[in-house]
Amino acid sequence: MRYLTIALAKGRLAEKTMELFSEIGINCEEMKDKKTRKLLFVNEELGLKFFLAKAGDVPTYVEYGAADIGVVGKDTILEEGRKILEVVDLKLGNCRMCVCGPASAKELLKHHEMIRVASKYPHIAKDYFYNKKHQTVEIIKLNGSVELAPIVGLSEVIVDIVETGSTLRENGLEVLEEVCPLSARMVVNNVSMKMENERIMDIIQKLKAVI
């Protein structure tokens, strides 16, 4: 039996994913050690390997087959646009991708004004404004704390993740339009899905039964 390799997006999502996996008998003792600097973890018994990567890199590892399976947010899947199979909605980390800004920006959106849109997700923002709304905008890529952009005058609106909405509220911003709902998804490499179909389908079916 060859090892199946699973790539997880570092952080809270990886912890929640391992909790979900443990419900279907998939676990990895090595990974529970919070102090470890190891990058690759093995469960010999189950023939599984796990590694933690930056969320944005998970679809890359899966597309190239360095990981057979990945768990990552829908936001990252959409942004990276990799050729991978999205197989299960794990219903973890539920939130929304939204266009946000001050209430005054509503009019600019309504009248399809040429505005500046700041986002950590330039592809998602571009797809939304160009392909769905047919509105020409200037997209500005940022790397975090995107809510700052409309406050300091870098952009009129942002495209960002909204979970509780408290970051928006505390900064005088609001949801102006919803782009799409988000949650963590299990993704699979195209070739692995064919070569290891039985093992991967078994994991998918067990996960679906506990979600």
Interface contacts to ligand PRP, rule CB under 6 A: 120, 144-147, 160-167
Point out the residue whose Cβ comes nearest to ligand PRP.
144
What lies within 8 Å, CB to CB, of 10 at 6+ separation is 52, 53, 54, 55
Q: What is the DSSP letter of 2?
A: P
By C-beta, is 88 or 148 nearer to ligand PRP?
148
- List helix spans (H) across 69-189: 74-80, 106-110, 122-126, 148-152, 166-169
By C-beta, is 63 or 156 nearer to ligand PRP?
156
Alpha-carbon distance 205 to 37, whole Å? Answer: 33
Nearest distance from C-beta of residue 143 to ligand PRP, angstroms: 7
Instruction: Tell which residue, 81, 76, 104, has the closest CA to residue 8.
Output: 76
Sheet bearing 184-188, strands edge to edge: 40-43, 48-53, 4-9, 69-73, 184-188, 85-89
Nearest distance from C-beta of residue 74 to ligand PRP, angstroms: 14
Question: How many helices (H) and strands (E) would you count in the chain?
Answer: 9, 11
Nearest distance from C-beta of residue 49 to ligand PRP, angstroms: 27
By C-beta, is 146 or 200 nearer to ligand PRP?
146
By C-beta, is 49 or 120 nearer to ligand PRP?
120
Nearest distance from C-beta of residue 23 to ligand PRP, angstroms: 26
The three state secondary structure string of 116-134 is EEEECCHHHHHHHHHHHCC
Nearest distance from C-beta of residue 207 to ligand PRP, angstroms: 25
By C-beta, is 147 or 156 nearer to ligand PRP?
147
